[in-house]
Structure 1
């Protein structure tokens, strides 16, 4: 399986200046080529190479960086065409469709630039890299990262590495091809995982990952963001930019920890994992405005993806079940009634009298559905999500 690993570069001031000039030059060349491709309606790799390779070399790019710029532009136009064909840009003739297709593609000054092994070499014994720049080869650029990530890079790195600058910091992003453990085709049952807002994840084994602290922090962030937007001064915008992404990073970190805990338990007990297919939940849910804000800003899909790829790496089977009525169905007698849920935290069956925490009851239903799906031959493939125009 493929895993993306990010490390932080620690360049000196002179090295950072050389990297900045290189990244700016590559993206300026990509913007020029994108405009030429749009004007001449040539977007294939072969067509762009015949059209502009010599011009890119004349702009100060070496052979391999010039080819990477060509491929970056061609891939961007291919992705745009695929998105338009799938309906992701709306109907042809709509304002959104026209805005996306009526102008050349633009690349940010600090957008990622790929480097192959001819332009970038890693030295893990000294934790440095040697990288091509427009001013010549830059050697002994230090980098740092999590020890586990560095070990993965040293053993399994494959293909190109992307250089980018984000919020004034330099990063290298590389792809690792990691061998997967043999999948457990005879799981001893399934762990059902109920995702929510009050409790981020509740498992059928009794683990409950509370979201109370996180939700309180997210509410504080929303209030501060709204306050800064209302103020609108330069200092307020500067502060808002500095805090941008902090909430997303916090949520991503928590999702990683929760998914790691769930997968570790499933692997240790020889069970699979059953998740709800939450595709389209934002369109289906009918909630009050404060609840909509909490639902639409939490990364349920991200948590599901983290569980799925960690489970795949560990050889743990994953199935996706229909989420309909999991919170209203009794896990003992399977009686379904809206009155079974008198409050957010309490489940009380109107038929058999069974009482349980609502999220735990739902996780038992998910685990049961996951087991029956596995018995019926359904494997760990999430239903495809279609794009609606």
Structure 2
């Protein structure tokens, strides 16, 4: 009987170091697989079906002979096309010639922890791994399922999902550190420490202006600069979220507390904001920050609970009061209870209420 995995799944980008000949073989394979996926997507769109078995029967042999693919590569190309078409059946999917392609254990294997054997159109090649990530931090860390070969900025990466076992459960936390997530302050904890989002918003707005300027210019040099900067903002936001999540988890672990977060699923559909604030709301990576906090907390043995965020910033935190009223928060930054007069920073009040809600919640049965 197979054991049940209890831990966290972490996506790692393993950097590969192919030789020039190997890099050319990998690129040729990626182009062939994506061209095959485009042809399979055309078949799926014409027959109005996202069923993998049906599409495979219609185009399997054509893909193998037209693009020189192995059997498993042709099947994975069909799966990629059907998966994309299933997400949006209103249009035919189109894949970039160097888009990521999937590899499963039949056509990719690991040679220890510093090399892979990967199938190309010219046969298998052994490619060294430069960066192994969390995979090397413990013999119990295992790669799960298939991997994606990614070509980015002239470099090759292997995106893999790694099983990292959860540390043994300790004692119940001594309390819960509530964390309020927001746009002005990306995160504010129940101790009153705020991580300001001013720098992130400034970078985003500068990038918006720069992109508009370069797109309007339309010269070759402008297009080169746009291509060079296309992922810079995402990397910056990701780094900020990593720093904040690491700080929150470290603080909770040092003080023996769990972390209470707002359950913000569907917030973009629930909130209505002015046109000027729309860009900030829809570029706000709160879900990424929450995911970073969650998996870092699991690895550190810190429990996490999600609570209902409704009225957390409108509820008086005084135990003998607890009055809820929209007028308690007269401005975005300030809270003042209209019944008892208790006042303080609104984000700090919300984080305090989030922590208290987690303390009275029943733990999940799972």
TM-score, scaled relative to structure 2: 0.85
2:94 maps to 106
Task: Verify the 8 A CA contact 1:317 1:380 in the aligned structure 2.
Answer: no
Relative to structure 1, is the Cα distance of residues 273 and 237 closer, same or farther in structure 2, using a 3 angstrom cutoff? same
RMSD: 2.8
**Is 2:210 aligned against 1:203?**
no
Please tell me whether the aligned partners of residues 340 and 348 of structure 1 are also in contact (alpha carbons under 8 angstroms).
yes
Structure 1: unaligned runs, 5 residues or longer: 81-99, 382-389
* 1:87 equivalent in structure 2: none
With over 3 angstroms needed to count, the CA separation of the structure-2 counterparts of 1:134 and 1:154, relative to structure 1, is farther
Provide the residue aligned with 1:131 in structure 2.
118
Question: Distance between the aligned counterparts of 1:258 and 1:149, measured in 2?
Answer: 24
Q: 1:47 to 1:226 in 2, by over 3 A?
A: closer
Q: Is the 8 A contact 1:200 1:209 kept in 2?
A: yes
72, 77, 89: which one aligns with 1:69? 77
Shift of 1:266: 2.7
1:119 maps to which residue? 107
Seen in structure 2, the aligned counterparts of structure 1 residues 344 and 15 have a Cα distance that, compared at 3 Å, is same
Seen in structure 2, the aligned counterparts of structure 1 residues 214 and 106 have a Cα distance that, compared at 3 Å, is closer
**Structure 1 counterpart of 2:3:** none
Deviation at 1:124, TM superposition (A): 4.6
Residue-by-residue CA offset, 1:354-384 (whole Å, 9 max, x unaligned): 3322211111011112222x2xx25399xxx
Number of matched pairs: 356
* Aligned-partner SS, 2:165: coil
Q: Return the alpha-carbon distance in structure 1 between the equivalents of residues 41 and 299 of structure 2.
A: 38
Change (3 A) 1:306 1:153: farther
Q: Within 1, Cα distance between the matches of 2:91 and 2:176?
A: 50
Determine the C-alpha separation between the residues in 1 that align with 2:96 and 2:139.
27
User: 1:47-75: CA deviations, max 9, x gaps?
Assistant: 34444433333231123323322333344
Preserved CA contact (<8 Å) 2:12 2:133: no
1:270 matches 2:256: yes
* Local SS of the residue matching 2:233: helix
Mapped partners of 2:45, 2:285: distance in 1: 36
Task: Tell me by how many angstroms 1:303 deviates.
Answer: 1.2
| Aligned residue in 1 for 2:16 | 9
Aligned to 1:93: none
Mapped contact 2:116–2:128 kept (Cα < 8 A): yes
Partner of 1:291: 277
Cα contact 1:153–1:176 (8 A) shared by 2: no
Matching residue within 379, 382, 385 for 2:364: 379
TM-score (norm 1): 0.81
- For residues 336 and 23 of structure 1, the distance between their equivalents in structure 2, rounded to whole angstroms, comes to 58
SS in 2 for 1:19: helix
Of the structure 1 ranges 22-31 and 155-164, higher mean CA displacement relative to structure 2 is found in: 155-164
* Paired residues for 1:231-242 under 5 Å: 231-242=217-228
- Give the Cα–Cα distance (whole angstroms) in 2 for the partners of residues 233 and 154 of structure 1: 52
Deviations 1:297-351 (A, max 9, x none): 1111221222223334444333322222222222113223444335443333333
Distance 2:302 2:238 in 1: 22
Greater displacement, 299-308 / 102-111: 102-111
Q: Secondary structure at the match of 1:108?
A: coil
Q: Is 1:215 the equivalent of 2:201?
A: yes
Once the two structures are TM-superposed, the CA of residue 211 in structure 1 deviates from its matched residue by 2.0
